[in-house]
Amino acid sequence: MIYIFQEAFKGFFKNKSMSLITVGIVSVSIFIFGLFIIGTANLMNLIKLAEDKIEMVAYINENTNENGIQSVRNNILSIAGVQSVEYISKEQAKEQFIKDFKDNANLLEVFENNPLPASIKVHISIAYKNPENLKNISEKIALFKEVSDVDYGAEWVDELDRAVKFLFIIDIILGIIIALASVFIVFNTIRLTIMARKDQIDIMDLVGATESYIEIPYIIEGIFHGLLGSLISAGILYLLFSFLSTKFPALISMNNSIICILAIFGVFLGFIGSIMSVKQCLSEIRDFKSRKKVKI
Amino acid sequence: MIEFSNVSKSFQGDWLALKNASFKINKGEFAFLIGKSGAGKSTIMKLIYLDIFPEDGYINIAGYDSRTIKRKDIPFLRRKIGVIFQDFKLLPDRNVYDNVAFALKVTGESYRNIRKKTLDALASVKMSHKRNSYPYQLSGGEQQKVAIARAIVREPFILLADEPTGNVDPENTAGIMNLLFEINTLGTAVLMATHDHSLIKKDINQVIGIRDGKIVKPENIFSKLDIEETESAL
């Protein structure tokens, strides 16, 4: 066991230039993957901000009394997906109108009475903020006799939903491409470092080392390459996004979970890359021997 | 101890490297395998440590049968066989001590034993004084001695020497040969493949001739006689 760790450690430092190239390539691959992860996190944040803006308003009939308002409030609250409700009286609506349309506030003066209806602002849980559920909830609210109309910007919600789905698909495709490209690049780099030590593997095989004894030092070395590469790229990303967030405060920067994702991705790449490479190297050595005309 | 029974081996589908080879090597024996380049000597060596497998026939190596051995058991067979090559196959980035110790480390030998066994093996090939040197600092003969130390450090029952003097000057060739005979007198069987008749000592146990993949009488390895009639010399 001591040998295995010693050999992995030695392997890393003995082949300094190869190790540096491998770690460098892993860093670049994971840096690109990290950019993608942070980009996705920011995209999700934007979507959440947009979804937060979705609100439903139930307009109340003119002649509804206090009891009616109380009962419709309770009824709306009992609908699945409704988080909270907020009653806006006619007066409050007028105040809000004047606040919102400062310059044209005198528009209301043409009316004898306040034309703005009382309403109930319905806050919907995030899980229900999709076209189907919003439509269902609005239809249920519209059935109450105290409610004259329900509005939640159906068209805008549909458009947002379409955009989110589209972005999500693009994001997943991009993520898969970047992840596969990283696996491919890292796999090939690790493969080169292992192939460079083909003679050593050949001798290990010759003197009777078991497969796990041959493979484990290379796998540990590969994991170390992956981990180091991912930590370097996480460091660079951290500095980059710390700088960017001073310019764009709303930006989601590096956080512990992103660093963890990158580290796990790096370790995964190193592990998969090295285990596949060393197995391939061993089978190439063996296959080569069984096919070639041996030197006599 | 080693038995070849009607062993045939071809490469790349058509080229028959070994045809119906049958012979035995007994415990503690010193045997020569003699033949021209391309006759099939290295194929026999590789078949013994099961680097390659026969297509027909079978080989029994110290109780391991080539037909039934499992892949996971091959490393354990190889620990009982020492192998040296014409090109030494030393690791250039490790010194003499580490090259020899490597064979013990990668086979899980306890740390306590590695140092003692490595130094003993280096002493037996008279290379203790060069234990800190790197292969590139050694002559061909010295490199081969280190390779021999690595091959015997696990105390194998047989040492396979594939043209061990091929890259060694005549002066050192005698030294290598004497070392192989010494190792044999201590109880390890030796099978040495060579094309050089002059290396064969008269009192040797067995000389196996090989020509075009067939076992022949040693005197017939260069003759133009029909080898079909002269095979099974042993």
pLDDT tens digits, A131-170: 888 899 999 988 888 888 888 877 887 888 888 888 889 8
pLDDT band of A292, cuts 50, 70, 90: low
Work out the average pLDDT over A222-246.
Answer: 90
Count of A–B CB contacts within 8 Å? 82
Give the per-residue pLDDT at A295.
Answer: 41
Average pLDDT over residues A235-255: 85
Residue of B nearest to A283 (CA): B51
Percent of chain A with pLDDT strictly greater than 70:
96
pLDDT of residue A235: 92
Q: Which residues of B touch A291 (CB under 8 A)?
A: 11-12
Q: Do A206 and B41 touch (CB under 8 A)?
A: no
A202 contacts in chain B (CB < 8 Å) = 89
Instruction: Tell me, rounded to whole angstroms, the distance of Cα A103 from its chain centroid.
Output: 43
Residues 68-107 of B with CB under 8 A from A: 72, 75-79, 83, 89, 91, 93, 102-103, 105-107
Position B14 scores a pLDDT of: 67
pLDDT higher than 70, residue B105:
yes
Cβ within 8 Å, pair B89-A209? no
- The CATH architecture that domain A55-152 belongs to is 2-Layer Sandwich (3.30)
Q: What is the mean pLDDT of residues B174-196?
A: 92
Residues of B in contact with A199 (CB under 8 A): 89, 91
The dihedral sign for the CA sequence A221, A222, A227, A228: positive
CB contact (8 A) between residue A291 and residue B12 = yes
Nearest CA distance, A26 vs chain B (angstrom): 26
**Least confidently predicted of A123-137, A151-165, B185-199:** A151-165
Q: Largest alpha-carbon pair distance within chain A?
A: 112
Beta strands B189-194 and B158-162: pairing type? parallel
User: Is the predicted pLDDT of residue A105 greater than 70, yes or no?
Assistant: no
Does the pLDDT of residue A291 top 80, yes or no?
Answer: no
Backbone φ, ψ for residue B158 (5° rounding): -140, 145
| pLDDT higher than threshold 80 for residue A88 | yes
Q: Does B150 touch chain A (CB under 8 A)?
A: yes
The mean pLDDT of B56-73, rounded to a whole number, is: 92
pLDDT value for A9: 75
Q: Which residues of B41-78 are buried (b: 16+ CB within 10 A; e: fewer)?
A: bbbbbbbbbbbbebeebebebeebebeebeeeebbebb
Using CA coordinates, name the residue in chain A closest to B211.
A296
Q: State how far the Cα of B114 lies from the Cα of B73, in Å rounded to an integer.
A: 23
Find the mean pLDDT for residues A173-201.
82
Between residues A169 and B229, the one the model is more confident about? A169
- Enumerate residues 6+ apart whose C-beta is below 8 A from A163: none
At B13, the pLDDT band (50, 70, 90 cuts) reads: low
DSSP for A73-84 reads HHHHHTSTTEEE
Count other Cβ atoms within 10 Å, centred on residue B164. 27
Res A221 pLDDT > 90: no
Chain A positions contacting chain B at CB under 8 Å are 2-3, 7, 14, 199-200, 202-211, 213-214, 286, 289-296
Q: Residue ranges per domain, chain A?
A: 2-49+161-287, 55-152
Which residues on chain A are in Cβ contact (under 8 Å) with B106? Answer: 3, 204, 207-209, 213-214
Reported confidence tier of residue A290, pLDDT bands at 50, 70, 90: low
What share of chain A in percent tops pLDDT 90?
10
B155 token code pair: 């105390």
Q: What's the mean pLDDT in B45-63? A: 92
Average pLDDT over residues A205-225: 88
pLDDT of residue B226: 46
pLDDT of residue B97: 96
| Confidence band, pLDDT 50/70/90 cuts, at residue A104 | confident
Say what the pLDDT of residue A11 is: 73
Q: What is the mean pLDDT of chain A?
A: 84
CA distances from A258 to A36, A37, A172, A249 (A): 11, 7, 17, 18
User: Two tokens at B225?
Assistant: 């006689």
Question: Which pLDDT score, from 0 to 100, does residue B228 have?
Answer: 47
**Per-residue pLDDT, B57:** 93
Burial A117-137 (b: 16+ CB within 10 A, else e): bbbbebebeeebbbbeebeeb
Is B12 touching A (CB cutoff 8 A)? yes
Question: How far does the CA of residue A194 sit from the closest CA of chain B (Å)?
Answer: 15
Contact A296 B107 (CB under 8 A): no
Rounded Cα distance between A131 and A264, Å, is 36
Within 10 Å of residue B18's Cβ, how many Cβ atoms?
27
| Mean pLDDT to the nearest integer, A178-198 | 80
Which carries the bigger pLDDT value, residue A254 or residue B27?
A: B27
In terms of CA atoms, which chain B residue is nearest residue A293?
B11
Give the distance from residue B55's alpha carbon to the nearest chain A alpha carbon, in angstroms: 11
Which of chain B's residues have a Cβ under 8 Å away from the Cβ of A290?
11, 52-53
* Measured torsion, CA atoms of residues A261, A267, A271, A274, in degrees rounded to the nearest 10: 120
Residues 6+ apart with CB under 8 A from B121: B100, B149, B150, B152, B153
For residues A254 and B167, the model is more confident at: B167
- A21-30, B22-31, B117-126, range with the lowest pLDDT: A21-30
- Are residues A207 and B17, on separate chains, in Cβ contact within 8 Å? no
Chain B residue numbers with beta carbons less than 8 Å from the beta carbon of A206 are: 49, 51, 78, 83, 89
**pLDDT exceeds 90 at position B73:** yes
Would you call B7 helix, strand, or coil by DSSP?
strand
Q: Do B93 and A210 touch (CB under 8 A)?
A: no
Token couple for A58: 């139930």
Residues A180-195, mean pLDDT to the nearest whole number: 80
Q: Give the Cα separation of A41 and A250 in Å (integer).
A: 12
pLDDT surpassing 50 at residue A294: no
DSSP string, chain A: -HHHHHHHHHHHHHTHHHHHHHHHHHHHHHHHHHHHHHHHHHHHHHHHHHHHT--EEEEEPTT--HHHHHHHHHHHHTSTTEEEEEEE-HHHHHHHHHHHTSTTGGGGGGSSS--PPPEEEEEEPGGG-SHHHHHHHHHHHHTSTTEEEEE--HHHHHHHHHHHHHHHHHHHHHHHHHHHHHHHHHHHHHHHHHHTTHHHHHHHHHHT--HHHHHHHHHHHHHHHHHHHHHHHHHHHHHHHHHHHHH-TTS----HHHHHHHHHHHHHHHHHHHHHHHHHHHHHHHHHHHHS----
Q: How far is CA A139 from CA A107, A110, A152, in A?
A: 32, 33, 11
B37 touches chain A (CB under 8 A): yes
Contacting residues of A for B43, CB less than 8 Å apart: 294, 296
Long-range pairs, A127-135, Cβ under 8 A, ≥24: A127/A81, A128/A80, A128/A81, A129/A51, A129/A54, A129/A157, A130/A157, A130/A161, A131/A157, A131/A158, A131/A161, A133/A81, A134/A54, A134/A56
**Does B150 sit within 8 Å of A207, measured CB to CB?**
yes
Name chain A contacts of B103, Cβ cutoff 8 Å.
Answer: 207-208
Instruction: Give the pLDDT confidence score for residue B149 in this predicted structure.
Output: 96
Report pLDDT for A228: 92
Distance from CA of A278 to the nearest CA of B (A): 16
B178–chain A nearest CA distance, Å: 23
In angstroms, rounded to a whole number, what is the distance separating the alpha carbons of residues A53 and A209? 65
The order of strands in the sheet holding B206-211 is B81-84, B158-162, B189-194, B30-35, B206-211, B214-216
